[in-house]
Structure 1
Amino acid sequence: MQHFFADRSWVQGDKIRLEGSDVNHMKNVLRMKEGEEVQVSDGTGNAYLCQIEGYEGNQAVLKIREKTEKDTELPSKIWLFQGLPKGDKMELIVQKAVELGVYGIVPFAAKRSVVRLDEKKAGKKQIRWQAIAKGAAEQSGRGLIPEVEIVKTYAEALEFAKELDVILVPYELEEGMKATMSIIEAIRPGQSVGIFIGPEGGFEEQEIGQARNAGAVPVTLGRRILRTETAGITTLSILMYHLECAEVQ
């Protein structure tokens, strides 16, 4: 069943008046007709089973058949802080991070980042990444669309993260899997978590020092060096499994 997001203000009584690009996609790409069913989330935890009543101008008019609470979010808010990678890797990272339950994504420029974006290019990239996040949230049945922040400096990213309960920095020179396991196992549902991932060249030692000073804890992901597009997905997968298991214990 197709899944769409609606602004809370579009929910009016027993109807939802869907607006924006989703209407064109529904009408002209999917060619959905009157009577077909769709799922709609309002971004605040509510899910609606709807039936298409028709199209009016730039709106799709949906009849609400059933309202439920959507329980698809992780029990903790996890932020992925991603050092800018080369090429289109960020698009894959955003898509998979959203599927795995990330709450928000903060791209940042590290010292070894090859990509350098001016304000105009960064703005265009952010719009593109946010659209990918929306599509991934719809595909994976999320109850909200994770926010992709505008590109920040490393110092700005650390400042953004300082209010989080736990900050992890996977680092290829860090050792001690037992210590990493203890750190992850100590994270409880409800705590906010930040994950800092370096670009292709990794973090410089000075950047790791800055992270430590900001309260971050370097951890290891094993004996192999992972690509930047793999490291964040791996860490998110571990946290997703740990937190959802902890919630049912």
Structure 2
Amino acid sequence: MKKQKSKGAALLLMVFILLAGSLSGCMYPGKEQQTGGSYRESVKRVQEAVEDYQQQEGLLPILNADEATPRYEKFVVDLGKLHEMGYLDEIPAAAFEKGGSAYFLILDEETRPSVKLMDLVTVQKVNDVQRRINRYKSGHGGNLPAADEIYPDLFTIDAQQAGTGSITLKSIYSGQPLQFIMDKNGTVYADYSPDILAVVGKNGISTEANRDLRLKLEQASYYVPVKSLPYYWVEDRPVPQSPQQ
């Protein structure tokens, strides 16, 4: 496994320059821009319904989730219940339940419940790559199709070996390409470093060494950085932290 951290840093810098010029104000996903703010309206309507439900019922309208479920996949809003009980006039077209490409989630459930969107296209792409990695690992004695170690204990994927060349991922925030990375166990993630670097550079947000930088993306968009690792500011760039560290 080659170590080319400097190469990764240079790539991030190039992507930041491109993204910073294309972002203005808050970061909103390309899909939302194309639909005239319909995603924004949908989140607002579901947020109001969730607040009304919690006030009247004393609970949050969420589907059951396992304790091990990642934060950005965990508390899915039960839109069907909100609709059936009259808190929501109709289920938004963006929702998976209506054939859309997003789940509505609740973050900060114990303090100030906030409705966000989880992009299912990103989830599907990462899962597709994960299946290829698992197949390769099973057929090669546990070895991984790793290319470069661009972060500590995190690697890009040799697409030719893994057979993942046809699977590409576009950022829900900027519409720009994102790469897949994997840890030493072969678990696959989307790399949101370019998006984090762009929002930090554009908005001039101060960085904190011990604060997960994914919160920047939460604050800048209605979408969550699903299938991601925690990011921290290290040597002037956002660096994801491997579970093995």
Taking structure 1 as the reference length, the TM-score comes to 0.26
Q: Return the structure number with greater strand share.
A: 1
Taking structure 2 as the reference length, the TM-score comes to 0.26
